[in-house]
Structure 1
Amino acid sequence: MIRYRLEPADVSSIRFGISPLSELGLGLRAFRAPDRYPLQRPWLDRIAAVRPLLDHEVLLGLVDDRRWVADFVNPRPASALTSIDDELAALGRITRGRLHADLERVHGTVPAVFTGRHDAVVGRLQQALATTWELCFAPYWPRMRAVMQSDITHRARTAAHAGIGAVLGGLSDAVRYDGRLLDVRLSSPIARDRPVAGEGLTLVPSVFVVRASVPIDDDQPPTVMYPARGQGAMWSTSPHPDAGAVRDLLGATRAALLDALGEPASSTDLAVRFGVSTSAVNQHLRVMERGGLLNRTRYGRAVLYYRSTVGDAMSARE
């Protein structure tokens, strides 16, 4: 078990994030122990044909039989829109000491594949992860991300109505919160006590966490990875809606906006793209958000909109 000690200022600064690299790292556990992730069996079946193309020596060197994963492939996300390219670039700057220390915490030693000239080891690691992302995650990331984003939206509403305590207590049956202490029950029998001490606590939904997970190294920023809601329906299929019917229902402008928002964009971006005023675009976006077709997030000074799960279903997008 790990106990995170939160002061009032720590509670007020709790935030959510999504990390593509962390999700890839956690997904390696399904490679190692597929029977532990029955909800992701459809994904494993879909990627079976490309898995022989992966660098398994590197990938399986990142996770052990306990399903512990090296911390450097579980980074704390900077925001809900963290980029896999940025995360892989940051991984390229890892020091030899950090690389070896994280691997030793998992395996007790450094696997042979990670010994040798440091720049060559890191280059191979980056390439192995980039290839795994491209072949196994990128085609299905919109589905995975939609589940995680919907989870964050749900918990943000819970926080607004019932307080952050209801959110923390509802993350998993392995997580308990008493107003100051956040206890996360883990498979490791070692009890750990970790003051948050102003570093901030980040909550990361995942489709590859069954109960709850945290960094192995207590020096890493406080983070709780927990099972995202709605995974059971992630791989369900349904007939594609008729595009003409969607246009008739929403109107041509809103249907076009829905189609364009498979990737986050601001109202200013959309106004330029569609040749209409920003105020007109904002009116449409607000109505579509209230109707549950769009999510939104703040990124720097901009507000970005993107399709919700419902919006994806209406636009017939994967």
Structure 2
Amino acid sequence: MKARLAFSVNDLAETRFAVSPMWEVVTSFRALAATVAPRPLRGWADQVRPRLAAAGLDRGWLADMIPPSGHLPDFLNPTPTAPSPGLSDELAAIEATDPEQVRRDVDHLAAEREGALPSRLRSLHRTPRSCLPRIVAEIEVYWGLAIAPYWARIRSVLEADIFHRGRQVAEQGTAQALDELHHTVRWAGGSLHLTERHCAITRIETGAGLLLVPSVFAWPRVLTRSVESEPPQLAYPARGIGLLWERRTRTQLEALTAVIGRSRASILAGLDTPASTTELAQRSGLSAAAVSQHLTALRAAGLTSTHRAGRSVLYARTALADALLTAQA
């Protein structure tokens, strides 16, 4: 299916970019729902799937609402009101969703599934206001297990993409930037043309402007959100996804080792994937007590962050630590 989104001068003037935590929640869960995760995401999926299964999130609200393909409930992706809203901001918007919007989304899911809806979605249709807080609570758990330990590096990729597109707009114009978003997106004759679309999107059905949202987990597709009176949203694969999970080489650590010591540099390198103290001890060859002591110092310096995953605590690198390691490349 093809779609055409006509642009006026005002629409172009109101076109903007934003980072959206909820787009990463929805697209990442969709990637996990697939039988085989997309190739660039398989390492991440292999780490996350056991955590979700242990928490029961592979059979919860998100599992009912986010299929491997087809309609994504629009209420899960509220329009970002800032260039980079926090997860709490978007969750508050979800909880405040108009019940009729929720029902429209559930009706759409029901149509795709020929009326066969799980009991949770039937309850959501009947009493949206009582169900939305439970959905929000599950999203918070999912975020802690699947996204938060990786968020620093994910956000860096998303922000770098927006910086690149913004410079492209300044140097070559908005039309050129739109034309190069994705191979299924083409600018021609004052309109944005989208191919390989699951459903149509037109200016008649949406508000003014356009919201462009880079995403790590949307790859390899462009996804859209179309809600009456709100600007249409396009979530597109961000640049640099292929390097996101790339491991550091030993030579990249030499300069950093001279500054913070070999043990702490080794621990940071071992956090290419978030890990517990025990896992880091196994990776580095240090005792768990020594790793814990180093992690305390690294956290105090703003180089690591902690995230609870069930009964375990996972440590992850911060954006500052990623920048220090990248500088050694």
Change (3 A) 1:192 1:198: closer
Identify which of 218, 236, 240 aligns with 2:246: 236
Identify which of 86, 89, 93 aligns with 1:90: 93
Task: Verify the 8 A CA contact 1:54 1:132 in the aligned structure 2.
Answer: no
Alpha-carbon shift at residue 217 of structure 1 (Å): 4.2
Alpha-carbon shift at residue 76 of structure 1 (Å): 2.4
Alpha-carbon shift at residue 64 of structure 1 (Å): 2.7
RMSD: 3.0
| Match of residue 212 from structure 2 | 203
Change (3 A) 1:198 1:32: closer
Which digits, 9 at most, give the CA deviation of each residue in 1:160-181, with x for residues without a partner? Answer: 2111111100000110111510
Task: Verify the 8 A CA contact 1:211 1:227 in the aligned structure 2.
Answer: yes
| Match of residue 185 from structure 1 | 195
Alpha-carbon shift at residue 310 of structure 1 (Å): 7.0
Identify which of 287, 311, 314 aligns with 2:323: 311
Identify which of 106, 129, 141 aligns with 1:131: 141
Change (3 A) 1:220 1:309: farther
Q: 1:87, 1:143 → 2: CA distance? A: 20
Task: Verify the 8 A CA contact 2:40 2:241 in the aligned structure 1.
Answer: yes
Q: 1:62, 1:197 → 2: CA distance? A: 23
Task: Verify the 8 A CA contact 2:206 2:227 in the aligned structure 1.
Answer: no
SS at match of 2:137: helix
Aligned-partner residue type, residue 168 of structure 1: L
Q: 1:74, 1:140 → 2: CA distance? A: 20
Q: 1:233, 1:225 → 2: CA distance? A: 20
Aligned-partner residue type, residue 232 of structure 1: G
| Match of residue 184 from structure 2 | 174
Which digits, 9 at most, give the CA deviation of each residue in 1:215-239, with x for residues without a partner? Answer: 1545542111111111001000104
Using structure 2 for the length normalisation, give the TM-score.
0.71
| Match of residue 297 from structure 1 | none
Aligned-partner residue type, residue 60 of structure 2: E
Which digits, 9 at most, give the CA deviation of each residue in 1:258-306, with x for residues without a partner? Answer: x76999xxxxxxxxxxxxxxxxxxxxxxxxxxxxxxxxxxxxxxxxxx9
| Match of residue 266 from structure 1 | none
Task: Verify the 8 A CA contact 1:19 1:75 in the aligned structure 2.
Answer: no
Aligned-partner residue type, residue 313 of structure 1: L
Q: 1:177, 1:130 → 2: CA distance? A: 37
Question: Does residue 10 of structure 2 align to residue 9 of structure 1?
Answer: yes
Q: 2:97, 2:165 → 1: CA distance? A: 33
Q: 1:95, 1:27 → 2: CA distance? A: 25
| Match of residue 19 from structure 1 | 20
Question: Does residue 58 of structure 2 align to residue 51 of structure 1?
Answer: no
Matches within 5 A, 1:72-83: 72-83=75-86
Using structure 1 for the length normalisation, give the TM-score.
0.73
| Match of residue 222 from structure 2 | 212
What percentage of aligned pairs have identical amino acids?
28
Identify which of 160, 165, 169 aligns with 1:155: 165
Runs of 5+ consecutive residues of structure 2 not aligned to the other structure: 261-300, 306-317
Change (3 A) 1:2 1:160: same
Q: 1:233, 1:165 → 2: CA distance? A: 28
| Match of residue 37 from structure 1 | 38
Task: Verify the 8 A CA contact 2:94 2:136 in the aligned structure 1.
Answer: yes
Which digits, 9 at most, give the CA deviation of each residue in 1:34-87, with x for residues without a partner? Answer: 535211111101112311104323111212342431111122222332100111
| Match of residue 283 from structure 2 | none
SS at match of 1:202: strand
Q: 1:262, 1:168 → 2: CA distance? A: 36
Q: 1:103, 1:221 → 2: CA distance? A: 21
Alpha-carbon shift at residue 10 of structure 1 (Å): 1.5
Q: 1:139, 1:17 → 2: CA distance? A: 21
SS at match of 1:35: coil
Query: When the two structures are aligned, how many residues end up with a matched partner?
Result: 263
Which digits, 9 at most, give the CA deviation of each residue in 1:239-274, with x for residues without a partner? Answer: 463436569xxxxxxxxxxx76999xxxxxxxxxxx
Change (3 A) 1:54 1:127: farther
Which deviates further from its counterpart, 102-111 or 30-39? 102-111
